[in-house]
Amino acid sequence: MSNRAKRIFVLTGAGVSAESGLGTFRDRDGLWARYDPMKLATPAAFARTPREVHAFYNARRAALLRAEPNAAHQALARLEAGLADRGGELFLCTQNIDDLHERAGSRQIVHMHGELLKARCTACKTVNVWRDDLNVTDSCPACQRTGTLRPHVVWFGETPFHLKAINAALLGSDLFVAIGTSGAVYPAAGLVEDANRAGIRTCEINLEPSANAHSFDEARYGPASEAVPNWVAAV
């Protein structure tokens, strides 16, 4: 029986979209080096200054619509199809709020930090696809209330989405791979320890060693657009 992994859990972070031109957060020129997350990515910030928060996400949404998936996104879409062909499965859990995995052809994706191209109504809780600017003057397509829409993204202090499904998929996998993430934000950063405790092989693919690089069995370093296709070709 080859020891080729059949059920792979991949966790991606901003590094997988860096070469598509979307900023990372904690690199030197990252978003949190230029903006204060406590003023733009918390529920209190949105309550206090909704127009500033909307402007921040409107700029990122416009940048996303101009961006394209890169070779790393495309390689992960190929891996999902290849694993399915051999009776395996790829569980793609992303911290990213962009839709580049979708546009590259990945099908089973879990956005644990939400999605930039969706808006949620704080009154009726409906989630709508939203590709334009979002402002306090907009009305909810479902309940028609005005001023109740927010980006459908997870802010600091809020609970990430789909944690039960993520944990079940992790424990059912035989390989955990973290790609393009600094290992700075929990619970995503704790998944590698959960994998280690469950005896699941772990691999990090990143531009440079992450904060929890020591927790991984194996590591491949380099730009995601090269390191991910090379890894997919070998796995």
> Nearer Cβ to ligand APR, position 140 or 206?
206
> Looking at beta carbons, which residue is closest to ligand APR?
15
Tokens 């979708």 sit at which residue? 102
Smallest distance, Å, CB 13 to ligand APR? 3
Q: Among residue numbers 35 through 94, which ones bind ligand APR (CB under 6 A)? A: none
24 is an interface residue for ligand APR by CB under 6 A: yes
Question: Is 113 one of the catalytic residues?
Answer: yes
Contacts of 157 (CB under 8 A, 6+ apart): 42, 43, 44
- 20: which DSSP letter? G
Smallest distance, Å, CB 14 to ligand APR? 4
What distance in Å separates the CA atoms of residue 149 and residue 129, rounded to the nearest whole number?
Answer: 12
Q: Which of 54, 113, 118, 152 binds ligand APR (CB under 6 A)?
A: 113
101 is an interface residue for ligand APR by CB under 6 A: no
Q: Beginning with the edge strand found earlier in the chain, give each strand of the sheet holding 218-221 in spatial order.
A: 109-111, 89-94, 7-12, 175-179, 201-206, 218-221
- 148: which DSSP letter? -
Contact set with ligand APR (CB under 6 A) = 13-15, 18-19, 24-27, 30, 95, 113, 180-182, 184-185, 206-208, 210, 223-224
